[in-house]
Structure 1
Amino acid sequence: MFTGIIEAVGRIQKITPKGNDIALTVESGKLDLADVKLGDSIATNGVCLTVVALTGNGYVADLSTETLKRTAFATSQAGQKVNLEKAMLPTTRFGGHMVSGHVDGIATVVSRSQTGRAIEFWLEAPAQLAKYLAEKGSVTIDGISLTINDVDGNRFKLTIVPHTALETTIEDFKVGHQVNLEVDVIARYLERLMMGDRAALQAGKSGLTMEKLAESGFLGSLR
């Protein structure tokens, strides 16, 4: 679990193909790795990655085909800057919001403008995630805990103060840039909880269908 408060900006040193997967070597910048051991989690551009090796000035993590399919790492290149945060401790100051490091989709920057000393971005999220975006709600962009300041359909506005721009990669975002998006984890679980017994009727990854439930005699008991 993370807070979305970025501790350091690192850089991708090397991307090593491993069959259909890759190994990512990250230079960790000012991130303190003194207490990091193999198996620990580090949010890398908002993706919870497991440390499989320490390099002295960084770490190596494996990215599966599933991770590449669901995140912007599929188009990452060596030299790219990344936001870094170690997993939170029970004593950590909770300065952001609850971040799982499990990316929900890829959002795209559609506009950028200067408003006083702040930078204003509009981003477009996948349509199926629009229901989780609320004005003054929380969202995680490349690992950064941010507040949504306006919503228009599946587009949302972020206002970035100078400190956030200085301490993260967001100052480099340009129109067309793709980012890892994680919606508020509480909203995601609340939606599922509100479905109640209907959640068991959803056809999907488990292969469960209405027909299968009827064949097994379950539908009568749920009516």
Structure 2
Amino acid sequence: MFTGIIETLGRVTNLKYELNNLHITIESSIANELKIDQSVAHNGVCLTVININDNCYTVTAIKETLDKTNIGRLEISNVINLERAMKLGDRLDGHIVQGHVDQTAECVHVEETQGSWLYTFNYDSLLNNITIEKGSITVNGVSLTVVNSKRDRFSVAIIPYTYEHTNFKTFKIGSIVNLEFDVIGKYVSRLNALKN
């Protein structure tokens, strides 16, 4: 379980395919604090640490993860958002995030608005995921509040701190991001669909 509050950034240093799996090595300031089998969210995707070497660690993404997220699009030197799993008793500063990405979205608009940034994303509404105005959404692992909610599109406003401390500063029109929709909203949507 995660909160969507990004702890630090990591940099991809190696990508190695083994059959349908992708082993990803990441350089990070938290690498020496990790342990084997620990869960870490990478752009919102929960992956298990399988190796640690000095200031780098390795995780493995299976085909299911590569098919449903932007992890398979990573390149050497890409910067990714990192968050370790929350501890019991910690404050929940963001919202309940499982680290299970629902789908990807495309950045279709970026606007600087005198001290903050407005990002707009399009997603495939045929997968029956929804946003609501002022509801929660996770974009590349970042817990955010939805503005301008539409059937297949939404926007988020990014404050300077989030811009500087996440990989939002690398997003441009056409960037593909991971989305995890609010878990409570997903259950409500599913119950609604079962009634109809």
Output the TM-score relative to the length of structure 2: 0.94
How many residues matched? 196
Matched ranges for 1:112-123 at <5 A: 112-123=110-121
Closer/same/farther in 2, CA of residues 71 and 155 from structure 1, 3 Å limit = same
Question: Which structure: larger Rg?
Answer: 1
- Residues 1:3 and 2:3 are matched in the alignment: yes
Tell me the secondary structure at the aligned position of residue 164 of structure 1: helix
- Residues 1:171 and 2:176 are matched in the alignment: no
Partners of 1:42 and 1:164 in 2: how far apart?
Answer: 19
Residue 96 of structure 2: aligned partner: 98
Shift of 1:131: 4.8
Q: Determine if contact 1:31/1:84 at 8 Å carries over to the other structure.
A: no
Shift of 1:191: 2.9
Residue 58 of structure 2: aligned partner: 60
Query: Tell me, which stretches of 5 or more residues in structure 1 are unaligned?
Result: 200-223
Residue 81 of structure 1: aligned partner: 79
Partners of 1:192 and 1:153 in 2: how far apart?
Answer: 16
Shift of 1:126: 1.4
Moved over 6 A (4+): none
Shift of 1:128: 2.8
Shift of 1:172: 1.3
- Residues 1:31 and 2:30 are matched in the alignment: yes
Partners of 1:32 and 1:92 in 2: how far apart?
Answer: 21
Query: What letter matches 1:18 in structure 2?
Result: E
Query: What letter matches 2:97 in structure 1?
Result: V
Residue 107 of structure 1: aligned partner: 105
Partners of 1:185 and 1:97 in 2: how far apart?
Answer: 9
Partners of 1:43 and 1:100 in 2: how far apart?
Answer: 9
Q: Determine if contact 1:130/1:154 at 8 Å carries over to the other structure.
A: no
Name the % identity.
38
Partners of 1:98 and 1:181 in 2: how far apart?
Answer: 14
Query: Tell me, which stretches of 5 or more residues in structure 2 are unaligned?
Result: none
Q: Determine if contact 2:31/2:55 at 8 Å carries over to the other structure.
A: no
Higher relative strand content: 2
Output the TM-score relative to the length of structure 1: 0.83
Shift of 1:96: 0.2
Partners of 1:129 and 1:113 in 2: how far apart?
Answer: 27
* Relative contact order higher in (CA < 8 Å, ≥ 6 apart): 2
Shift of 1:31: 2.7
In the TM superposition, what whole-angstrom CA distance separates every residue of 1:86-143 from its partner, at most 9, and x where no partner exists? 0000122210000000000010000111111001111101113565211100000000
Closer/same/farther in 2, CA of residues 53 and 32 from structure 1, 3 Å limit = closer
RMSD between superposed Cα atoms in Å: 1.7
